[in-house]
Amino acid sequence: MTDHAGRPSAETIATVTLALQRQFGNRCVTSDAVRQQHAHTTTWLANQPPDMVVFPESAEEIREIVKLCAAHRVPIIPFGAGSSLEGHLNAPNGGVSIDLSSMKKIITVHPEDLDCVIEPGVTRKELNEYLKSYGLFFPIDPGADASIGGMVATRASGTNAVRYGTMKDNVIALEAILPNGETITTARRAKKTSAGYDLTRLFVGSEGTLGVVTKITLKLHGLPEAISAGVCPFPSVKAAADAAILTIQTGLPIARIELLDAVQVKAVNVYSKLAMPESPVLLVEFHGTEQGVAEQAQRFGEIAEDLGGGPFEWATRPEDRTKLWQARHDSYWAVMALRPGIKPFATDICVPISHLADCIEETQADIAASGLIAPIVGHVGDGNFHTSVLVDTASAEEMAVVKGFLTRLVERAHRMEGTCTGEHGVGQGKMKYLGAELGDATVSTMRLIKHAIDPDNIMNPGKIFTFTP
C-alpha cells in the first residue's frame, strides 16, 4: 500500500485544513468519529481514515476543494453513502474525503424522455420515491441504499440487472470535475451518440480515481403495468442454477432471478420473519403487461417443474412482494445472525452462465471442505453470485483458511472465463487479482489513462491498480 504519491506532510495537511475550515466552517470536520466512519470497510481491510471530511453543497464548492487539493497534492476521496465493499473509501495516504450527501438535488425529470438529471448524493431509494408520482423507476438496486454517485463509481448492478442492465447501461451522461479543476460533460442528453470517446463509460466504474462526479443523467423506465413475483424451491443448488440458465437461454425476459442456498434461506427466514421452504430457492419477478407476465410466469413454472422445482408460491400483493425483495436485500444482515458478533464479507465472482452450475457446486464443496459458514446468494441470471463468509478476523487460523478459499474462488472464476468482481468493483480488496484476470498489458493501459488524467495521483489513490506518479 505504498503505491501512490505518498502521504502529504503534516504542514501541508494543516494548511489545507485551515483553508477548508475557513471556507466551509463546520462543514469541514476533523473529528475522529467522522473520519473513521468515512473510511469504513466491510472487508477485513483496516480502516484508513482521511485527514478531514468536507460536505460541499455545489459543484462549484467541489471545484474549489479539488483545486486546493491539487495545488497541495493532497488526496481526494469522493464519498457517497459509504456502502461500498472493497475499501474504496479508505485513505491510505490521508487526505480529504468529499462527502456528497448534501448534494441531493433532483434537478430535472423528463418523463417524456424517460430520463432525469440528478446530483450524486441522491440515494437509489430517494430517487425511486421521487419518481413514483411520474410512474417511473430507476432499476439498479445494489443491496444497500447506495448513493447514485457511488453506484456510478463502482459500476453497480443488483437484482434487476438481468433485465435492465448495470450502471454502464443506465447512465446517459456525467458531469465531472477533473484533478486539473476543469469540468467536463461526457455526453448530451440524446439516447444515442457516436461523438468521440465514451467518457461516460470510462467514468462509470472508475471508482473515483479520475475525478469527482457532480451531475448524473440517468435512463429511467416506466413502472411495469403488471408485476408478479414468487419463490420456487429446488431440490439442489444445481437444479436451481440450471433453471436459471434455461430461463435465460430461452429468452424469457425475466426481471429478477435470485438464488439463495438453503443456509441463506434459513438465515433470511429468521431475520425477515418469512417462511420460505428451507431448501435452495429462486426468487423471481416478471414485469410486463398482465397477459405478458402471466405468460412468462407460466413458462418459468414449466422450466422449474422440469428440473424438479416447485411448488411455486406467488406474492401477489405489492406489500408481500416488497417484503420478499427487502428480505433479499437484507440477506447481508440476516447472515450475521448465523454467527453472532461476526461480520460477514461478500465475495463477488461472475462467470458465463454455462459455467454457473459447476462454479456454484465446486464452491459449495470448497466451503464444506474448508469448514466455513458462507451462505450463497446470486444474481444467477447474470452468472454472478456472492458467498457471505463469516470469519473471525482476529483468528489467524481462520483467516488463513478463508484466504485459501478466496484464492481458489477467484482462480475458479478465472478458469471458467469469469471475473473476480461482478459488481462490487476492485477497490483495495481485489487489486491483487486484476493482473491475473486481464493481463499486465491491460492493467498498464488503465495506468496510462490514470496518468493522463490524474498525473499526481490525487484522486482516490491506491485503488484498482498500483500507480506511482
Do residues 339 and 388 make contact, with C-beta atoms less than 8 angstroms apart?
A: no
Part in contact with a second copy (CB under 8 A); list of ranges 21-29, 332-340, 348-356, 396-404: 348-356
Binding mask 208-237 for a second copy (x = CB under 8 A): -------------xx-xx------------
Part in contact with a second copy (CB under 8 A); list of ranges 156-164, 273-281, 310-318, 320-328: 156-164
Q: Which of 125, 132, 188, 403 binds a second copy (CB under 8 A)?
A: 188
105: contact with a second copy by CB under 8 A: no
Q: Is 174 helix (H, G, I), strand (E, B) or coil?
A: strand
Least distance from a second copy to the Cβ atom of residue 60, Å = 15
Part in contact with a second copy (CB under 8 A); list of ranges 11-19, 38-46, 61-69, 148-156: 148-156
Distance CA(350)–CA(139), nearest Å, equals 20
445: contact with a second copy by CB under 8 A: yes
Distance CA(185)–CA(173), nearest Å, equals 7
Q: Which amino acid is present at 58? A: S
Q: Which of 418, 429, 461, 462 binds a second copy (CB under 8 A)?
A: 418
Q: Site size for a second copy, by CB under 8 A?
A: 92
Q: Closer to a second copy at the Cβ: 365 or 438? A: 438
CA distances from 300 to 293, 306, 394, 466 (A): 10, 10, 45, 46
107: contact with a second copy by CB under 8 A: no
Question: Long-range contacts for 431-440 (Cβ within 8 Å, ≥24 apart)?
Answer: 431/463, 431/464, 431/465, 431/466, 434/464, 434/465, 436/410
- Bridge partners of 77, per DSSP, are 97
Would you tell me how many other CB atoms lie within 10 Å of the CB of residue 259?
Answer: 24
Q: Closer to a second copy at the Cβ: 52 or 187? A: 187
Contacts of 155 (CB under 8 A, 6+ apart): 166, 167, 168, 204, 205, 423, 425
3: contact with a second copy by CB under 8 A: no
Least distance from a second copy to the Cβ atom of residue 128, Å = 17
Return the H-helix or E-strand segment holding 124. helix 124-131
Distance CA(43)–CA(50), nearest Å, equals 18
Do residues 56 and 15 make contact, with C-beta atoms less than 8 angstroms apart?
A: no
Residues 398-417 that bind a second copy (CB under 8 A): 413-414, 417
424: contact with a second copy by CB under 8 A: yes
438: contact with a second copy by CB under 8 A: yes
Residues 285-324 that bind a second copy (CB under 8 A): 289, 291-292, 295
358: contact with a second copy by CB under 8 A: no
Least distance from a second copy to the Cβ atom of residue 425, Å = 5
Q: Closer to a second copy at the Cβ: 232 or 353? A: 353
Alpha helices, H only, 25-123: 32-37, 59-72
Q: Which of 27, 73, 168, 321 binds a second copy (CB under 8 A)?
A: 168
Q: Which of 75, 233, 383, 462 binds a second copy (CB under 8 A)?
A: 383
Q: Which of 19, 44, 128, 165 binds a second copy (CB under 8 A)?
A: 165
Q: Closer to a second copy at the Cβ: 187 or 276? A: 187
Residues 239-268 that bind a second copy (CB under 8 A): 245, 248-251, 253
Do residues 264 and 327 make contact, with C-beta atoms less than 8 angstroms apart?
A: no
196: contact with a second copy by CB under 8 A: yes
Distance CA(216)–CA(173), nearest Å, equals 6
Question: Long-range contacts for 178-182 (Cβ within 8 Å, ≥24 apart)?
Answer: 178/66, 178/210, 178/211, 178/453, 178/454, 179/66, 179/70, 179/76, 179/210, 179/211, 179/453, 179/454, 179/455, 179/456, 179/458, 179/459, 180/70, 181/63, 181/66, 181/67, 181/70
Distance CA(140)–CA(117), nearest Å, equals 16
Least distance from a second copy to the Cβ atom of residue 97, Å = 22
Residues 33-92 that bind a second copy (CB under 8 A): none
Least distance from a second copy to the Cβ atom of residue 157, Å = 6
193: contact with a second copy by CB under 8 A: yes
434: contact with a second copy by CB under 8 A: yes
102: contact with a second copy by CB under 8 A: no
446: contact with a second copy by CB under 8 A: yes
469: contact with a second copy by CB under 8 A: no
448: contact with a second copy by CB under 8 A: yes
186: contact with a second copy by CB under 8 A: yes
> Left (φ > 0), alpha (ψ -120 to 50) or beta: where does 450 sit?
alpha
